[in-house]
Structure 1
Amino acid sequence: MKYPVIDAIIIPEGRLDVLSKAEVSKLLDTSQGGLYRLFRNCSLAVLNCGSTLDDGKELLERYPDFEIRVVQEQRGIKLDIKAAPAHAFVDGNMIKGINEHLFTVLRDIIYVSDEITDNPKIDLDSSDGVSSAVFHILRNANILRPMTPPKLVVCWGGHSISRKEYDYSKIVGYELGLRGLDICTGCGPGAMKGPMKGATIGHAKQRIKNGQYLGITEPGIIAAESPNPIVNELVILPDIEKRLEAFVRTGHGIVVFPGGAGTAEEILYILGVLLHPDNKDMPFPLVFTGLDSSEDYFKEIDRFIAGTLGESARQRYKIIINDPVEVAREMQAGIQQVRQFRKEKGDAYYFNWLLKVDVPFQQPFIPTHDNMRNLALNKEQDSHLLAANLRRAFSGIVAGNVKDDGIRAIEQYGHFEIRGDTEIMALMDSLLASFVEQHRMKLPGKKYVPCYKIIK
């Protein structure tokens, strides 16, 4: 099937620093180790905004002739685009929000390559070095807001949710927006779009004109979760681990809606971080919420957490069913505690430096078949370390479900094998089976073929 495409010359809507000849060469370098492939694939994902597609491999195959080239001029730069998805344009003109996101891709890929990856002053093998890298990427993206009280709520949840669940997430976002709270999500569709859309209405009613709708993503997931058009600030971190750290250091509280393996990964990440002894007294409001029909979903999540991480993990979150007002009030009260804590400790409101994020939560996990098979999924370790390894297991499943490299690995070598303690494997098998049964692994209408096999 042929999909309609458009050729265009794009000029940045906002200010973008002039690129050096060396930087332009990096983007044009199609050889191994160059940035062109990464830049091209992320740009295509951004241009796919609004599409009902959650398969990174399928997206790349749908537009094989897509090309993007940086054109350097005396006054700045332009982008020369060939065979771009036509739905990114209106009457031949690119939608402004997509235009901004396209130049965000350029900004972040150049910056990460020059100032982070190739910077000898930043030690990405140390915990402090990784946290500093996350901070510098966010600061360069101009999304940190000093002299502003805490009010950023991170919303996590699945891209594959029902219409009723989407509408519920929108109502929660509306209630948060009415209380002057801003929204940060993974920037994709579903439970990532709903809260932002609701908050825009709440902000409009309160005449809040500078509402922040922050999207945080990474190159591996952006094709499956293209930034939704409400995102007014987008930042692309180099990998999933730095993306997750960006969420928990910039956000002042987290609301979790129903989702699949990716949402489970996010839950395990924040619980693992909060279970570290250094974070014992750290206030961090964490609410799980959904409709009455989602109650069984959260019971399954709660059962899994209780059986793997124990009662101390269950004390760090609250489950609120079908009550958007209560969710917003709980989040507002929790953020007030965060403000008081940061004020007493002298920590910044815009970046949580005091939060201890241990190395196992920062090291990039490559979900190869061997790495998945050799994960330490047993209770003979501290609960926060078990959470780190469980997080990696779910991260691998996400890769096998929707990421280009992961899908290709499954096609070539078959299922990921996940091994561990009998009790943990039984709980994991039950949880994943419930995700499949509730159609949370792929968008509606697509048959899900598991990319994993639980070895009990």
Structure 2
Amino acid sequence: MPKPNVINASVSPKGSLETLSQREVQQLSAAGSGSVYQLFRQCALAILNTGARIDNAKTILEAYEDFEVRIHQQDRGVRLELLNAPADAFVDGEMIASTREMLFSALRDIVYTESELDSHRIDLSSSQGITDYVFHLLRNARTLRAGVEPKMVVCWGGHSISLEEYKYTKKVGHELGLRSLDICTGCGPGVMKGPMKGATIAHAKQRFAGGRYLGLTEPGIIAAEAPNPIVNELVILPDIEKRLEAFVRVGHGIIIFPGGAGTAEEFLYLLGILMHPDNRDLPFPVILTGPQSAAPYLQQLHAFVGETLGVAAQSHYSIIINDPVAVARQMVEGLQEVKRFRRERNDAFHFNWLLKIDEGFQRPFDPTHENMAALQLGKDMPRHTLAANLRRAFSGIVAGNVKDKGIRLIEKHGPYKIHGDPEIMNPLDRLLQAFVEQHRMKLPGGADYVPCYRVVT
């Protein structure tokens, strides 16, 4: 990567986070808790690097190794001093407004996460305690708005997609926006940007000024998938599991577009939850969609689910090919059912408390070589348990592809080895090979993809 243009600057927040205690400033300073400072530095660098066509966290961190961020507590509030920051985040010496908002959202979330972990209110040893923790993080970010009827549509899919697929996501987002629905994504490029862009135009057409473009991310992936500038609410959850729980707790329906390993991870997480017996009667509209050119991909993903998790898993979603209007109409119908169900059971519209999520889906998975090799992937396992372990396998592949820690582990120890029954491993191998052939593992334009995994039967 060529040496980037950098700038030194001083910036203060507007309306998102005005004050920090001296203890919180110390936590974030390099002289205080070094790990917390490094976490904020990485997230800040990713946000300042918005728009870069790079999906390798290690490459970004190395390109800006001289970048520093210093937190100053003043009588009138907080001020950030940025040294050797990406120049593209500024216009005529002034930081772009959306970038500043997201920068202080990251500061807010990291400070609050650390403060909550030190609180006696948080019990991460129980499933309910983890859910409460996610609730507190989202409430502190002002994401939860009581009384607003169900209209938050989560859009999942790849950051490495074709131009035709990207244009299709914009068309779907446009149809959702014309119906005054809000958009929630992983906040990065590709599918995470397209629906928001389409909805923005549609909201303007409808003179709808309150459109929400919610981005949910986590520190391990934000550098590889920097927030897109349309995001007007950014929340950084502590890890991938809490990020995934946040999606299904605040979202009222989910649309899944073409993607790669990360999309498969999210899809398997969702199916594993919906297949739990306690969630049998809970309405949650899920639609797989894409342009006509993506039909083979969608059918392949559908076939993989059938071969590994069975026909029952396939009943939890529908597939719509090349019809944005049908997608939006079906989602609106599904949201009406969600609204009726929650009213009947007196459940909140802003947070899906009734959704049962087992601890196996909530506990952070560390994708070391030992943990990846130890995953149980057998045909005789309960289907929702198998879905949880398949989700972990894809989580490891995502880490090995784009996350700084995962990339370094692969460089040191070689590819992950994934073991399991042939009835599971063969469909998995075919699906992963298709992702590679369709260039869905990494952004196009770089070197040929080298798999970070090896499937062993």
Superposed pair shares fold, TM > 0.5: yes
Q: Deviations over 1:164-208 (max 9, x none)?
A: 110000000000000110000000000000000000011111111
Q: Which secondary structure state, in structure 1, belongs to the residue aligned with residue 409 of structure 2?
A: helix
Query: Are 1:10 and 1:79, in contact at CA under 8 Å, matched by a contact in 2?
Result: yes
Question: How big is the shift at 1:120?
Answer: 2.4
Q: 1:5 to 1:29 in 2, by over 3 A?
A: closer
Amino acid of the structure 1 residue aligned with 2:288: F
Q: Is the 8 A contact 1:13 1:96 kept in 2?
A: no
Query: 1:29: Cα distance to partner?
Result: 3.8
Amino acid at match of 2:111: I
**In the TM superposition, what whole-angstrom CA distance separates every residue of 1:352-389 from its partner, at most 9, and x where no partner exists?**
00000110000000000000000001122210010000
Secondary structure of residue in 2 paired with 1:418: strand
Partner of 2:111: 110
**Could you tell me whether the CA contact under 8 Å between 1:7 and 1:82 is conserved in 2?**
yes
SS of match in other structure, 2:155: strand
Which deviations, in whole Å up to 9, do the C-alpha atoms of 1:261-294 show, x marking residues without a partner? 0000000000000000000001000000001110
Deviations 1:198-250 (A, max 9, x none): 00011111111010000000000000100000000000000000000000000
Is the CA contact 1:30–1:37 (under 8 Å) kept in the aligned structure 2? no
Are 1:351 and 2:378 matched, yes or no? no
Q: Distance in 2 between matches of 1:388 and 1:98?
A: 35
Contact 1:269/1:391, CA 8 A, preserved across alignment? yes
Match of 1:164 in 2: 164
Tell me which residue corresponds to 1:433. 433
Q: Does 1:92 align with 2:93?
A: yes
The alpha carbon displacement at 1:30 in A equals 4.7
> What is the CA-CA distance between 1:121 and the residue it aligns to?
2.2
Q: Distance in 1 between matches of 2:443 and 2:7?
A: 27
Question: Equivalents in 2 of 1:171, 1:453: separation in Å?
Answer: 37
Aligned equivalent of 1:5: 6
Name the CA distance, whole Å, in 2 between partners of 1:70 and 1:31: 12
Structure-1 residue corresponding to 2:36: 35
Deviations 1:275-324 (A, max 9, x none): 00000001000000001110100111011100111111000000000000
TM-score normalized by the length of structure 2? 0.98
Q: Deviations over 1:141-173 (max 9, x none)?
A: 001111111000000000000111100000000
Distance (whole Å) between structure 2 residues aligned to residue 121 and residue 8 of structure 1: 38
Instruction: Determine the C-alpha separation between the residues in 2 that align with 1:90 and 1:248.
Output: 37
| Deviation of 1:392 (Å) | 0.2
- TM-score w.r.t. structure 1 length? 0.99
Matched, 1:325 2:325: yes
Distance 1:143 1:32, change over 3 A: closer
Find the aligned partners of 2:132 and 2:281 in 1 and give their Cα distance: 23
SS at match of 2:102: helix
Q: Is 1:133 matched with 2:133? A: yes
Q: What SS does structure 1 have at the residue aligned with 2:79?
A: strand
Q: Matched residue of 1:354: which SS?
A: coil
Aligned to 2:236: 236
Separation of aligned partners in 2, 1:159 and 1:385: 28
- Counterpart of 2:273 in structure 1 is 273
Give the alignment of 1:115-264 within 5 angstroms. 115=116, 117-264=117-264
Count of aligned residue pairs for this structure pair: 455
Shift of 1:13: 2.3
Which residue in the other structure is 1:454 paired with? 455
Question: Percent identical across equivalent pairs?
Answer: 62
Residue 23 of structure 2 aligns with an amino acid whose one-letter code is A
Whole-angstrom distance in 2 between the partners of 1:121 and 1:227: 31
CA contact (8 A) 1:188 1:226 kept: yes
Of residues 25-34 and 81-90 in structure 1, the stretch that sits farther from structure 2 once superposed is 25-34
Q: CA deviation at 1:92?
A: 1.3
Distance 1:268 1:288 in 2: 13
In the alignment, the residues of structure 1 paired with residue 15 and residue 90 of structure 2 have an alpha-carbon distance, to the nearest angstrom, of 18
Amino acid at match of 2:40: F
3-state SS, counterpart of residue 210 of structure 1 = coil
Letter in 1 for 2:148: T
Name 1:55's counterpart in structure 2: 56
Deviation of 1:423 after TM superposition, in Å, equals 1.3
Deviation (angstroms), 1:32: 6.4
Alignment root-mean-square deviation, CA: 0.9
Match of 1:303 in 2: 303
C-alpha separation in 1, matches of 2:17 and 2:43: 18
- TM-aligned CA deviation for residue 63 of structure 1: 0.3
> SS of 1:130's equivalent?
helix
Distance across 2 between alignment mates of 1:15 and 1:258: 34
| Structure 2 Cα separation of the partners of residues 328 and 8 of structure 1 | 43
Deviations 1:368-413 (A, max 9, x none): 0000000001122210010000000000000000000000000000
Counterpart residue number, 1:314: 314
Deviates most, 295-304 or 119-128: 119-128
Identify the residue that residue 419 of structure 1 maps to in structure 2. 419
**Secondary structure of 1:37's aligned partner:** helix
What is the aligned partner in structure 2 of residue 287 from structure 1?
287
The answer to whether the 8 A contact 2:48-2:86 is kept is yes
User: Matches of 2:121 and 2:169 in 1, distance apart?
Assistant: 42
The code of the aligned residue for 1:77 comes to V
Tell me how far apart the structure 2 counterparts of residues 49 and 29 of structure 1 sit (CA, whole Å).
Answer: 24
Q: Is the 8 A contact 2:16 2:104 kept in 1?
A: no
Question: The residue matched to 1:35 in structure 2 has which SS?
Answer: helix
Is contact 1:397–1:451 with CA below 8 Å preserved after alignment? yes
Q: Which moved more, 1:257-266 or 1:119-128?
A: 119-128
Q: Is the 8 A contact 2:339 2:349 kept in 1?
A: yes
Aligned partners of 1:433, 1:32: CA distance in 2, in Å? 42
Give distance in 2, aligned partners of 1:43 and 1:69: 11
Distance in 2 between residues matched to 1:15 and 1:75, nearest whole Å: 14
Q: Structure 1 residue 64 and structure 2 residue 69: aligned?
A: no
Structure 1 segments, 4+ long, off by >2 Å, are 29-34
Cα deviation, 1:309-355, whole Å, max 9, x if unaligned, reads 11110000000000000000010000000000000000000000000
Does residue 365 of structure 2 align to residue 365 of structure 1?
yes
User: Letter of the aligned partner of 2:54 in structure 1?
Assistant: L
Distance in 2 separating the partners of 1:29 and 1:43: 14
* Structure 1: 5+ residue stretches without partners: none
